[in-house]
Amino acid sequence: MKLRSNSTSRLPPPPLSATQLTTAQSSWSWSHSFSHQLHRDRQSQIFRLLSDGEQVMIRLSRQTIRRLTSAEASRLSLVESMSAVLSPNANIALSYAKKSSLHGEEDNTNDTNSNSNASPPEIDMAITFLGTGAGSPSSARNSSSLVFSTPRLAWMFDCGEGTQHRMFKCSSPKLKPSSINRIFITHMHGDHVLGLPGMLFFLANSNFHRDEPLHIHGPPGIRNFINNTFRSVGSAIHLPISIHEFPQSRIGDEPKKIVCDGNIEVHAGKISHSCDCWGFVITESDRKGELNVDALIKEGIRPGPIYRQIKAGESVALPDGRVVDGRQFVSSFIPGRKIVILGDTNNAKALIKKSKGADVVIHEATLPDHEEAIATRRGHSTPSMAGNFAKKSLARVLLLNHVSPKVSEEGFAICNGMAPIDVRAQAVNAFGSDNVVVGVDYLRVDIDRKQPVQLEHCIESRNQIVSNII
């Protein structure tokens, strides 16, 4: 997609100074033109400028970046890596922007004490629910959608009606439409896919420059759905898109690898529903142990080819006759994390083997336990069915989503005018673990390496969201 300006005559004079840039109460039209002008500079870097609730892509030259103080830089949200731009001794601390910084509120960044090696605070890995409802959206829950994010990527899973609006209300830079790298669609039911055309319209008509195509992964038919939608409304998509349809398969087939992006892989497997539906297993590569070079040097073992054997954990004979155990000089390896995201299903056993040892399982719980027969007939699950899957897959944490308005758990009962049902208790009983959270819109679940999910914080955040809803 190319950046366009409404009028070339509106382009501002030569680039503003860093101070002018960050203190000006910029309008959309000003930023629009500014980004168009600086887009031609190949040596520039992309930033987002938050102004009056809008996100605008701008590019700053290397010279301008180097002149930024840490206070000014803290008002900008980093989009592309700065490592190739900033000199090693650059006195600058970058952090993710807060809206308050652009509207005259106090900025507590200390310029004189800023650390040249400081980096933006990053969520190591997270799941954010944008829609946790089943079927039609309600006042409490939007149609299905969630975002899996790391510091370098943001992947959306399902895009139900209203997903854009949910994203606009999120404060995280990772949860803006322009930040999404890939979209995965579990199946072609409307509550999982009807927000996709609107999302693509927005991206195609915005001024966000996308160097890489937006990858869309979905069932056979997703390509025709997108093409026919835009053809029907007489519009073209001026946006680089790469559509990947899942290969034809049967329930029970071995899940297939569909994405390998750096240290993260995604496998897709077919699961039982009223139409063709897929579930996904996101797997992070194991992190190998680190060699303790300082300890080796302290023992008189200088760097050389022998380090390779030691890092492999082998017993190595030294020239002086000593034999060292390599395992004593290598930190324990850290297993990669695993997240399972299931589409609508009444039986996902085809993915149990691939899901073994998952840090997080996200499973639907459309209807309460006493309506299991109805749920199964319609291709859906109950909280207990979700709990059983989590138990069989030896999962650490179970997150429930795709909750029907009929399932009026405590807190939402007021919204729906129904007697509360303890959805969580039903899942806990089947799972055999208290590590269960019933998802709500806007809930973010951080998945740390050492402590996969901090449940107390997660539940506290959830309760706060619910109290705001009711």
Structure tokens at 63: 């010279």
Q: What is the DSSP string of 311-356?
A: HTT-EEE-TTS-EEEGGGGBPPPBPPPEEEEE-S-SB-GGGHHHHT
Closest CA to 134 of 436, 342, 367, 292: 367
Amino acid at 403: V
291 secondary structure, DSSP code: B
Residues in the chain: 470
Q: Please tell me whether residue 156 adopts helix, strand or coil conformation.
A: strand
Residue where the block lists tokens 């990858």: 215
As to burial, measured by CB atoms within 10 angstroms (0-12 exposed, 13-18 middle, 19+ buried), residue 146 is: buried
Is residue 191 annotated as part of the catalytic site, yes or no? Answer: yes
Measured CA to CA, the distance from residue 267 to residue 351 in angstroms comes to 10
Question: Among residues 52, 124, 191, 294, which one is catalytic?
Answer: 191
Strand partners, 272: 347
Question: What do you get for the CA distance between the two ends of the chain, in Å?
Answer: 42
C-alpha to C-alpha distance for 177 and 421, rounded to whole angstroms: 35
C-alpha 178/C-alpha 188 separation (Å) is 23
DSSP assignment of 370-406 = GGHHHHHHTT---HHHHHHHHHHTT-SEEEEE-B-TT
**Helix count (H) and strand count (E) of the chain?**
16, 19
Alpha carbon distance 298, 258 (integer Å): 46
User: Tokens 């382009």 appear where?
Assistant: 11
- In angstroms and rounded to an integer, the radius of gyration of the C-alpha atoms of the chain is 25
371, two tokens: 């309506």
Q: How far apart are alpha carbons 237 and 253 in whole angstroms?
A: 35
The C-alpha atoms of residue 361 and residue 282 are separated, in whole angstroms, by: 10
Catalytic residue annotation: 191
